Structure 1
Amino acid sequence: MSLYVKEIRGVVNSEITNEFASNMGTMIGNFLKPGKNVVVGRDTSLFSQMIKRSITAGLMASGIGVIDFGVAPIPTVHYGASLYDTDVIITITASHLRPDEIAIKIFSDYKIPMAQKHAERVPWDKIGYLSYVYDYVDRYLNAVLENVEKEIIRSMGLKVVVDCANASTVPFMPQLLNILGCETILFGCQTTETSSKMFAEPTPETLSMVSDLVKSIGADLGMALDNDGDRIIFIDENGNIIRDQTVLGIFARESLIKNPGGTIVSSVVASRALDETVLKYEGNLIKAPVNLVLNKTIENKAVFGGDEPGMYIFPEFQDCFDAIFTGVKMIETICKQNKTLSQLAGEIPEYPRTGFSIECEHENKEDVLNNLKENLDEKGVSITTDGIRIDWEDAYILVRPSRFEPLMRVYIESKTSKKLDELSNELKNMIQDV
């Protein structure tokens, strides 16, 4: 289910209006044809509620039946959709990047064309129905519990700090940890209509309160989930934020131990440490474009997939970025290995790494990439899957154009801090000079 994922993002009431959302819903319905069903869900924000209602109205106007999950994390909507006869899931959430933006995600079994055309509405007596459902909640909770080693987790009784961003994962994560016998300290676990925005780039500052709480009470780990349940950040028992790339390495290793020779999928942003981990455990690593990690994980029947910031896929459970299941899997890994999170992280190599953005008009992006390829390509091995990545023995650079903004995203990793600084300065000058 959901081989194709399309994200539409824009400013609420400006780029994404009620009229736009309604027309989009009707165009999706026109593609599906009357009589089909679509599952919809949203996060806790008020504008997500508004836009979901407009999409719902548009779907119904095209003769589509709408099954409304209400406020629900993306992974629970995705998993619960299998209860119903549907090929399409639509979720609406506040953007992780800007407070005035909204993200509409469409999961489907096929590519749905979104070309601007006249939306065809059915006669009054063919309008689709609307049904509100809640049975997916227990089904998802039970499925998570069936896919982890419950008794091992219960025997350890870990102390866990959980931050749910006062959003849609509140009814799920704390309940699961309670069932699994964890001593859970809740932070940001009051559902409101104004959920706190997930950090775009995790830093010690944005997670300092959770980090301090972990240290002060002697917790085994902390975890912070985003507003729609597809991203998670981990904090070890010392209050240190664990890098996304290190978490990828931990889960890739565990997946390959369980599935020898399996395929791991990450994006072109992946650290060299992931290459080394996958090679050590005799797996196969595929580096996908940043926005196609989920698709490539499904297409290649991978045993694990993931990308930063904090997005992980466990196909043994479901083909979806799932922060809730990921959190439970990390606890299971700590218990099975009988190691602290800092010990698990310490077993994955970490290299000096940085990422930043440089302003670049859309019309100049191709020239920037060509210039980099011409001047740097002969010095290393290049990958042009998404922008341009050039690997040397002791470092790599990745420069990729932002899909939505007049920016170039730059990622650099090196085995030494000195080399990292040199490459950072060189790339800034090369991009700004074009």
Structure 2
Amino acid sequence: MVLEELKMSRYVQNIRGVVNFEITNKFASHLGTIVGNYVGPEKRVVVGRDLNVPSQMIKRSITTGLMAAGVDVIDFGVAPIPVIHYSREFYNANVMITISKSHLRPEDVDIKIFSDHEIPLEQRHADKVSWNQIGTLRYVHEYREKYIKGVLDEIDVSAINKKSFLIVLDCEGGDMPFAPQLLHKINCETVLIGCNENTLEGDFPEPSPKRISLVSELTTAIGADMGVLLDNDHDRAVFIDQNGNMIRDQTVLGIFAKYILENNPNGTVVSSVVASQSVDEMVIKNGGKIIKTSVNTVLNEIEDSEAIFGGDEPGMYVFPEFQNCFDAIFSVMKMLEILAKKDTTLSKLAREIKEYNRTVFTIECEHDKKYEVMDAFKTKFESGEEINVVDGVRVDLEDSFILIRPSRFEPLIRVYIESKSAEKLQKLTESVQTMIEKV
């Protein structure tokens, strides 16, 4: 089981483990009571989940634990993270908890706890209230229309309505109606894939090559304007152009940033150290400022710097004018607004953003060797090169960059290399692999 703490615009604590082995009902109930002790009796906590059956079981156990601590629980049922995040303050909730199928392993479940302050989650005794102080449980539904109205108020509905777009949508989250309902309300004809509970056995909750290929083929076959794939949490989106080509997430970052900077000159854009050189160049060219921060603190930096836009891989985008949360649903609506107002296609938008040769891979590395690798890499480049150590070590060369980041929980080093020259990319890749393997 893994406990990860990330300081974002709020504290987000992510607990991941195998259902019924590491994340048991007893563990989940105890966790709920620990959180409830922190929140305090008669306070409110919002909970929600994806369609995964284990997520349903674990959410119920967490709920009973919260109630045992005297906390009132507001249950959103099956709802995506951005929708829960958008509506949490409407219910005056102090904490938000979501449960979903892990992107890493099918037997794992992810529990995410969002709060204004860090919650101590060490194993300890949990205090339960007396029988007449047990918290209440309330199921709510009005948040759905609240979110949909909020999205429609933030985009140019009139411009999109006139285009009558045809969209292929794969929403792995299952029967969560938000994206299809919004597309219907803005006059888009939509072909749905996977937007029900009958997902394939063994499917991962994020866009797989098989699913991307299916959406690509269908998009071209029916002459759709765009294909879109959402993950089960609806905080990640993959875009397919009208020709069936998947658009790189770094290119999508550039498209969004360029459009928003046109309407907000001199604004700040935030991404992580993973960001492509093309994003840097595009932001600067359009009069903006780019901030590259840790992968784990993108949301926090967006709030602190009052950024106009932010995002990160894989396919996670933030529009602060709407909410400071990775929101794939709003990202789709914003992309349609751009297509409509510019009267263009996604492939043309993508061609306006430079794409450089790029590779991402992992190398096995024991935990006790990781910092030795980091130090050796930093020492090799520290004279004369620009080095960023906010998250791993990133070295910016004249026309390339190398980033190595140690995995927090796996015996791996993650490597990102980008170059404007395919030949140099190959040489840098071989050099980095050799250096790490020697250490």
User: TM-score when scaled to structure 2?
Assistant: 0.95
Q: Distance in 2 between matches of 1:79 and 1:25?
A: 22
Equivalent residue, structure 1, for 2:333? 328
Q: Does 1:347 align with 2:352?
A: yes
Equivalent residues of 1:313, 1:321 under 8 A apart = yes
Q: Name the CA distance, whole Å, in 1 between partners of 2:332 and 2:178.
A: 11
Q: Runs of 4+ in structure 1 displaced over 6 angstroms? A: none
Alpha-carbon separation, structure 1, partners of 2:123 and 2:225: 52
User: Contact (CA 8 Å) 1:382, 1:389: kept in 2 or not?
Assistant: yes
Partner amino acid for 2:65?
G
Give 1:147's match in structure 2, choosing from 138, 141, 154. Answer: 154
- Structure 2 residues without counterparts, runs of 5 or longer: 1-7
Aligned with 2:215 (options 210, 216, 231) = 210
2-side partners of 1:354 and 1:168: how far apart? 35
Query: 1:10-409 residue pairs with structure 2 within 5 A?
Result: 10-165=17-172, 167=174, 169=176, 171-192=177-198, 196-199=203-206, 203=209, 205-378=210-383, 380-409=385-414
Alpha-carbon contact 1:44-1:194 (below 8 Å) kept: no
Contact 2:206 2:230 in 1 (8 A): no
Letter matched to residue 339 of structure 2: I
Report the Cα distance in structure 2 between the residues aligned to 1:289 and 1:13, rounded to whole angstroms.
33
Q: CA separation in 1, counterparts of 2:384 and 2:314? A: 29
Between the two proteins, the alignment pairs up a number of residues equal to: 431
Task: Give, in whole Å, the separation in 2 of the partners of 1:73 and 1:426.
Answer: 42
Amino acid at match of 1:188: G
* Distance of 1:112 and 1:3 partners within structure 2: 11
Q: Distance in 1 between matches of 2:428 and 2:246?
A: 25
Aligned-pair Cα RMSD in Å:
1.6
Deviations 1:44-76 (A, max 9, x none): 001111111111111111111110000001111
Structure 1 equivalent of residue 4 of structure 2: none
Secondary structure of the residue that 1:30 maps to in structure 2? helix
- The Cα offsets for residues 114-133 of structure 1, whole Å up to 9 and x where unpaired, read as 22322111122211111111
- Farther off after superposition, 112-121 or 210-219: 112-121
The one-character-per-residue Cα deviations of 1:200-248 (angstroms, maximum 9, x if unpaired) are: 7x65x54111000011111111000011111100000110000000000
Q: Which amino acid aligns with 1:127?
A: I
- CA–CA distance in structure 2, aligned partners of residues 165 and 407 of structure 1: 28
Q: Distance in 2 between matches of 1:155 and 1:191?
A: 33
Higher mean Cα deviation, 146-155 or 369-378?
369-378
CA drift of 1:168 comes to: 5.0
Whether the aligned pair in 2 keeps the contact of 1:45 and 1:194 (CA below 8 Å) is no
Q: 1:353 to 1:206 in 2, by over 3 A?
A: farther
In the TM superposition, residue 26 of structure 1 has moved relative to its aligned partner by: 1.1
Deviates more, 1:112-121 or 1:72-81: 112-121
SS in 1 for 2:99: strand
Q: CA deviation at 1:194?
A: 6.9
Q: Tell me, yes or no, if the aligned pair for 2:206 and 2:232 is still in contact at 8 Å.
A: no
Identical-pair percentage: 54
1:182-214 per-position Cα deviation (integer Å, ceiling 9, x unaligned): 1211111223487842347x65x5411100001
Are the aligned partners of 1:214 and 1:239 in contact in 2 as well (CA < 8 Å)? yes
1:60-104: CA deviation from partner (whole Å, max 9, x where unpaired): 111111100000011111112122111211111111121111111
TM-score with structure 1 setting the length: 0.96
> Which residue of structure 1 lines up, in the alignment, with residue 5 of structure 2?
none
Q: Which runs of 5+ in 1 are unaligned?
A: none
User: In the alignment, which residue of structure 1 is the partner of 2:3?
Assistant: none
Give, as a single letter, the amino acid of the residue that structure 1 aligns with 2:68: A
Structure 1: how far apart are the matches of 2:303 and 2:110? 22
